[in-house]
Structure 1
């Protein structure tokens, strides 16, 4: 059951992406030959006007086929004959729809919370004494943080939500001084050599609490936007680690790993609400990841095609379709190779249990 749910979620994310291309192409007057939900053999197909609408057997994606995407075409309504700004909008629209889906998922997620967390500090680990004084166990308080400080960054890493805090604290392996930027009394303040350690028995790295706000339309929107920024930020950091070699090759994951990760979220939950919460979280993270990845200037991806549009904007004339096609073909071969490698990693982890 978990695998089926995972495949459907993955299919939803890709279909939403392709729908972005489809709707903007239609609105721009570009001829759409086919819009398909799913891949593989056709189950249903309906011709409406110039466009075929298909439902296919494998719910793992979809596609939007436009006239003249990869070749010169005499049809005035082909993709390549459309105005440059229209083509750019169509290319960006897929990722934009992934971001819209992510925001919607995060708004649902925040609505499921009892209250909306912020990054403003409220309370440190400690104990109130009989004489009214407080003995603090929190190293962060002892080294400079205070109640009401709004956390801006730690060691140069921007903090948008508590998700960033969890990401940062998960990476802290030793108790060393950190550079923390906070907003205190309306002004930015840089604090050096801040230590994070709860010295109480059983304490960990996180030695402070944060302010929680009641749910209102404004706090839900603000909280959703903050988590969206955090997820985008974390995806960006992961891509940076991959490009700089900080991410081990064994950590690279493909579709099998994604489906497995989503499937795992349906197991060992305290309640159905807990399972739904985790699935929404994973859906939001993956769709934001897909949106960002597709905008990278890699041949074969939307970002690669967008790069050629920008070159055309500067040169005032397009690159020859056959030349651009060769570049995209090379990019697709490279991406296909990476996908095979990632899938190999996924299967190896399933076999070894790693």
Structure 2
């Protein structure tokens, strides 16, 4: 049961991240065609206005697809609007843990303004800072990386039937998602924002967006295959 809880919490974390992109796009005036949790064929869909909300088959992420005819039309939006949309996801993934720490502190600490308002922000920033410092170590020791299988297994073991640990797991995984997406790899939010900023300095760099994004996706998919194979070997092969 705890593994199902871990999987559902991962889904919640992904939803919150993608909802951040969605709200930021709306704020920037970029219409959205598809809001999807998961990739691949859709399992469930509902249309509201111009946006189709869907759950897709492969629960390894999600996406927000702008309502544009092609990439060229999307790049016609000002850089500031595109950066706003890209930044919305990581920002949402940083905000969610603040609410998690608020709930934890309400339960375990005396009720005070500091414990409920100031401390959760400090806790979030502190954990985020430690995760950023750990990035070089994570990529230099790839044997410690885990994919969805590993996260669900270790997360389920950690959570058990403890609601406080479920909140801690949600906060940590959401911050992990924020840090991961801010790494400047072109297919990730951090890479997109870096390329958008480069576009301001060197407009001709726009021609490199697509090939760099494709290379970034190849790298990410390769890493996903690697960590998934490692998880299978770690947890299912004797």
Q: TM-score, normalised by structure 2?
A: 0.90
- Cα-to-partner distance string for 1:275-332 (whole Å, 9 max, x where unaligned): 11111101100101101110111121011110111101222x25334x2111111111
Distance in 2, Cα, partners of 1:330 & 1:57: 24
Which of the two has greater strand per residue? 1
CA distance in 2, matches of 1:281, 1:53: 28
Alignment of 1:234-273 (within 5 A): 234-243=130-139, 245=140, 248-267=141-160, 272=161
The equivalent residue for 2:192 is 305
Deviation at 1:351, TM superposition (A): 3.3
- Corresponding residue number in structure 2 for 1:231: 127
State how many pairs are aligned: 238
CA contact (8 A) 1:102 1:285 kept: yes
The CA deviation string for residues 62-118 of structure 1, in whole angstroms up to 9 with x for no partner, is 321113497212xxxxx32222111111110000001111111111111121x3xxx
* Equivalent residue, structure 1, for 2:178: 291
Q: 3-state DSSP class of the match of 1:85?
A: helix
**Residue 36 of structure 1, CA deviation:** 2.1
The DSSP-based 3-state class of the residue aligned with 1:300 is: coil
Matched residue, 2:206: 320
Distance 1:68 1:45 in 2: 20
Structure-2 residue corresponding to 1:148: none
CA-CA distance at 1:14 after TM superposition = 1.0
Change (3 A) 1:43 1:347: closer
Q: TM-score normalized by structure 1? A: 0.62
Distance 1:105 1:65 in 2: 28
SS in 1 for 2:17: helix
Partners of 1:352 and 1:106 lie apart in 2 by 37
- Is the helix fraction higher in 1 or 2? 2
Q: CA shift at 1:229, angstroms?
A: 2.1
Cα root mean square deviation, aligned:
2.2
In structure 2, relative to structure 1, the CA distance for the partners of 1:94 and 1:40 (3 Å cut) is same
Contact 1:295–1:303 (Cα < 8 Å) also in 2: yes
Q: Of 207, 212, 220, which aligns to 1:335?
A: 220
Report the structure number with the largest CA radius of gyration.
1
Residue number in structure 1 paired with 2:232: 347
Rounded Cα–Cα distance in structure 2 between residues aligned with 1:38 and 1:343: 16
Change in Cα spacing, 1:281 to 1:215, as seen in structure 2 (3 Å) is: same
Relative contact order higher in (CA < 8 Å, ≥ 6 apart): 2
Between 287-296 and 342-351, the greater mean CA deviation after superposition: 342-351
Confirm or deny: 8 A CA contact 2:186 2:212 kept in the other structure.
Answer: yes
Structure 1 pair 58/309, CA: closer, same or farther in 2 (3 Å)?
closer
- Deviation track 1:28-77 (CA, whole Å, cap 9, x = no partner) reads 2212111123444434433333222224456554321113497212xxxx
Partner of residue 281, structure 1: 168
8 Å CA contact 2:6, 2:159 repeated in 1? no
Kindly indicate whether the alpha-carbon contact (under 8 Å) linking 1:8 and 1:59 is maintained by their aligned counterparts in 2.
Answer: no
Q: Give the corresponding residue for 1:7.
A: 7
CA 1:226 to 1:28, structure 2 compared with 1: closer, same or farther past 3 Å?
closer
Q: Work out the CA distance in 2 between the residues paired with 1:318 and 1:23.
A: 30
Matches within 5 A, 1:73-112: 73=73, 79-112=74-107
